[in-house]
Structure 1
Amino acid sequence: MKLTGIHVFTIDALLGDVVDVGMTPTGRRRVIPVVGGTVRDGLDGEVLPGGADWNLERVDGSFELWARYELRLADGSVVSVTNTAVHAPAPQLPILTAPRFDVGDEGPVELRTGAYVGLLFPRLEEHRVRVEIHRVEIHGAPEAADA
């Protein structure tokens, strides 16, 4: 069996100013607002303002990303995105993320099921991130289980 990623679409999100919550029992919390952006390369639309990444720099130096935001597609449907990741102090780019989608019946319902991987490319000096969304697919016959 072989796993492959099929590119589905790209999100280019614009970010607002970081809100530094400060040190908490689990690490330094930062909230990074999502203020807009575009969806392209497979789906077309816009990133709606109002979402955020509730980012946590853990005491071991690693980072947790937990972002929630909405996309309005060209056909008017809305897709809610929850995107998570944990990466080392000095991340190798791109950062691998685990996006999940909540879609109404009028939207691209195929996003409701399956496994997806995001390739996140931060461009923080430009106040933006690019996330390339890929659907994971299985190819080939499964191997027999050992008895």
Structure 2
Amino acid sequence: MMLALSHLTTLEVELAPALEVGRTAAGVRRVIPITGGFFSGPRLNGKILPGGADWNVARTDGITHLWARYTLRTDTGEHIMITNEGWGTQDDETMRRIFSGETQPDEGWYCRTQPQFEVDLDGPSAWLNDVVCVGSLRPPHRADRVTVDIFQVD
């Protein structure tokens, strides 16, 4: 059986400047506050609420580990919790360039995530509790926003 992907939604996540924790045993740790944004797509539309963050670490081997948690509110008022974890080929220097506002070239960019949703079991989007999704974080072209395309694995 072959797997297929269907586009679920695209997140436009607004960010505050990163809080640099510094060099840790795991690598360079940063906390990137999520201040808002929106999402739109064939199956999900709405706003990203402020208050979440991405607790990421740029490892010494050139890999960045992302772990973001935040809340979505659909156009119908439903709240959705998302945890989006993944890996990218961004070393510490690339992350510094991104946060300084330099455009990241598309060539050589790789960042994939595994979004997981938590939704009210009695709500219209309860089906999100049971789906497997993958995300693709596009190369950032602004320091204050990232775009993540989310696909459902069918």
TM-score by length of 2: 0.82
Report the Cα distance in structure 2 between the residues aligned to 1:51 and 1:92, rounded to whole angstroms.
28
Structure 1 pair 124–19 and aligned structure 2 pair: CA distance change class (3 A): farther
Structure 1 residues not aligned, in runs of 5+: 138-147
Matched AA of 2:55: W
1:77 is aligned to 78
Q: Does the CA contact (< 8 Å) of 2:56 and 2:66 recur in 1?
A: yes
Report the Cα distance in structure 2 between the residues aligned to 1:69 and 1:2, rounded to whole angstroms.
32
After TM superposition, list the pairs within 5 Å mapping 1:43-122 onto structure 2.
Answer: 43-89=44-90, 92-93=108-109, 95-104=111-120, 105-122=122-139
Whose strand proportion is higher, 1 or 2?
1
3-state SS in 1 of match to 2:20:
strand
Matched AA of 2:68: A
Percentage of matched positions with identical amino acids: 39
3-state SS in 2 of match to 1:125:
coil
TM-score by length of 1: 0.86
Shift of 1:125: 2.3
Shift of 1:82: 0.3
1:140 is aligned to none
Q: Does the CA contact (< 8 Å) of 1:78 and 1:107 recur in 2?
A: no
1:26 is aligned to 26
Shift of 1:87: 2.1
Report the Cα distance in structure 2 between the residues aligned to 1:25 and 1:126, rounded to whole angstroms.
26
Matched AA of 2:133: Y
Matched AA of 1:86: W
1:131 is aligned to 148
3-state SS in 1 of match to 2:4:
strand
1:36 is aligned to 36
The size of the alignment, in residue pairs, is 137
Shift of 1:2: 1.1
Shift of 1:41: 1.5
**Root-mean-square deviation (Å):** 1.7
Matched AA of 1:6: S
Shift of 1:124: 5.2
Report the Cα distance in structure 2 between the residues aligned to 1:36 and 1:54, rounded to whole angstroms.
16
Bigger radius of gyration among the two? 1
**Residues 20-55 of structure 1: per-residue CA shift (max 9 Å, x gap):** 000111111001111000111122210000000001
Q: Does the CA contact (< 8 Å) of 1:34 and 1:50 recur in 2?
A: yes
1:10 is aligned to 10
